Chains A and B, each alone.
Chain A
Amino acid sequence: MWIAILTIAFIALGAGLALSFASRRLPSDAGDLVEQVNDLLPQTQCGQCGYPGCRPYAAAIVDGAATINLCPPGGEATVQRMADLLGKEIIPLVEQAEPSVAVIDESLCIGCVHCRNACPVDAIVGAQHFMHTVIESECTGCKLCVAPCPVDCISMRSLT
């Protein structure tokens, strides 16, 4: 009987050592997980979650610093997919948002390039003192261009 107990104990010790070694020394897959979470995010780079972009938010989620319900453009569907991926509870979104695009009222635009510099995906074209316009197909509806406009000529148009 002692032989059996010793054998089992020995195997358990060996396995434990191997596992602890693996967890410390082998590269963790956290990087992969961040990528996976990032893939689920809508890539609007809007910063509404309080992080400077989608990838930093993904990293914060994986670290446990952020909850999964901070992304309004992603909607409930994104919350659900992240909950599935990370094995977390589905929690209601902090804020609802509907898909929209920015529209520049071109007759009011003074060509100050503030909005162009604010756009995280380069979806606004225009040069200094020339009229600007939004490339609608590339606009993610992040609203980051609305606040910098000195003449308030940018509005959001709902896509639904």
Chain B
Amino acid sequence: MSAPTFDLGKLHGGLRLPGHKSASTAEPIRDVPIPSQLVLPITQHVGDPAQPVVGIGERVLKGQLLAEPDRTLGAPVHASSSGKIIAIEPWPVARRLGDTAPCIIIECDGEDRAIEHLETTQNFMAAQPADLLSQILKGGIVGLGGAVFPTAQKLMQAQTCEIEYLILNGVECEPYISCDDMLMRERAAQILSGAQILMHAMQIDVCYVVVESDKPEAVRSLETALSELDDDRLVLKQVPTIYPSGGEDQLVQLVTNREVPSGGLPTDVGCLVQNVGTTAAIHDWIVNLEPLISRVTTVAGDGIANPMNVRARIGTTVQDVVEFTGGYAERADHLIIGGPMTGKSVTTDRVPLVKATNSILVVLKTSFQGRELPCIRCGDCASVCPIQLLPQQLFWHSCADNEVKLREFGLTDCIECGCCDLVCPSHIPLTANFKIAKGRIQELADEKARAERARRRFEARNERLQREKQDRDTELARQKESAKQAGPAAIAEILKRKKRQSEDD
């Protein structure tokens, strides 16, 4: 077993949080049975909604394409099981509180018949890199770490840069969540195979598989898989357990000691980061032609009777998943989709499990949240901020709605990790404030862009009107000129004709 490699780049701030992971990692991943009804939102990714290509009443098979992106940024949605489409309608989703989004609803027939594919790409090393990329595009694969950015588009963007390292993100730093941990324990070979596919498709020669040092079982399993694979391009690295080292930019900093520039991407410093769940999904799609129709998710929290990790079909409702695990505990109070730091509160468990759902967390009545008090400028928030921002200043300027200052203090670089919230002795909801302020900045930028477009259209119109007037003037002048050249006799002739006409009338 390799010793933890702590001689890595340094992460500023961050927090050592209690893990709460042992409860959900005690048992292996269990499969949730196919529910009677699947709810598939058409937007499960960053970008524009996918457009449905099936109609109500149509029978679909497992893995059949249901909706495909019509713009540049997006990912297709596939049927998670066979059945009949009974509706395409708004349904509650875990995006914002009380939000609904258009969903395709399938009534499952329980047969789970899969659509027949032509051929599988067993030997991906023989495939052309470009073919692999376009194949990944069709699999509906998105970043499963939680950001759900369409993987194919991420790879295409990365192709325009010089990429040195592929970094597999097995750092699951948020408390409670353990789905990647369990995946690494049970499916290490598939994860690494997915990484090899990516390395071949992107022509990358070095891959770091990064795991936190508090996951010894995952490390062991990966080591076994690595030794079986016998590919020295893949290197296992361990990093200390500090939240939020699993953030993309933070991980790059930790592993390569390169800082991702403000407003930039890891590709700017030659790194491509992929979640371990994503590479396993890539393996499933490329080798077995199974699109992203299921995922592992952690069901945990004090409000859950039997915390565990489950593999559920995308579109299974949270209610069905929780029921399968054994239901809620007695004093369950509050449902959060995602982790405790970055997750979203929802009011109903009718929301479906989507590609982004890495955790279903049920907590008891929150007792730790104190009353909000004025800022005492202690600076604790600044010392834990992983981006080295000054949350107290940002808070000040966001209260004053001062866009210029907010930009100056780097609000747009905030990753909303929630560290500052947690340490604030005055219980100020800083991250919530920053989210609102970010929305305002975006709004202002949109307004500005709209004004600029209107100005351009106005100027173009004025130009056109002027051009038309000029054309008319020249035409008139030309006609006058030609009449003059025809001489006085012709003019008299025309006038006589005119007169005759008016007399006739």
Contacts and interface: CB of A to CB of B under 8 A. Distances in A.
A122 B451 contact: no
Nearest to B444: A77
Contacts of B460: 122
A42 interface: yes
A121 B451 contact: no
A99 to B, nearest CB: 9
Contacts of A45: 454, 458
A36 B454 CA distance: 16
B453 interface: yes
Interface in A86-129: 120-123
Interface string A40-65: 01111100000001100000000000
Specify the main secondary structure of chain B where it touches its partner.
Answer: helix
B452 interface: yes
A122 B461 contact: yes
Contacts of A140: 450, 454
B454 A138 contact: yes
A121 B457 CA distance: 5
Nearest to B452: A43
9 contacts: A42-B447, A43-B452, A43-B454, A120-B461, A121-B457, A122-B460, A138-B453, A138-B457, A140-B454
A84 to B, nearest CB: 10
Contacts, number: 31
A128 to B, nearest CB: 16
Contacts of B461: 120-122
Contact of A120 (B447, B450, B452, B458): B458
Contacts of B447: 42
Q: How large is the interface on B (under 10, 10 to 19, 20 to 34, 35 or more residues)?
A: 10 to 19
Contacts of A138: 453-454, 457
Nearest to B448: A39
A97 B141 CA distance: 45
Contacts of B457: 121-123, 138
B211 to A, nearest CB: 47
B107 to A, nearest CB: 37
B455 interface: yes
Contacts of A54: 455, 458
A43 B461 CA distance: 13
Given A120-B461, A121-B457, A138-B453, 15 more contacts: A38-B455, A41-B451, A42-B451, A42-B454, A43-B451, A43-B452, A43-B454, A43-B458, A53-B458, A121-B458, A121-B461, A123-B457, A138-B454, A138-B457, A140-B454
A138 B457 CA distance: 9
Contacts of B453: 138
A102 B452 CA distance: 19
Contacts of A122: 457, 460-461
A27 B29 CA distance: 75
Residue of A43, A44, A120, A123 contacting most chain B CB atoms (<10 Å): A43
Contacts of B458: 43, 45, 53-54, 120-121
Query: Which 3 residue pairs are nearest across A and B when measured between Cβ atoms?
Result: A43-B454, A121-B457, A43-B451
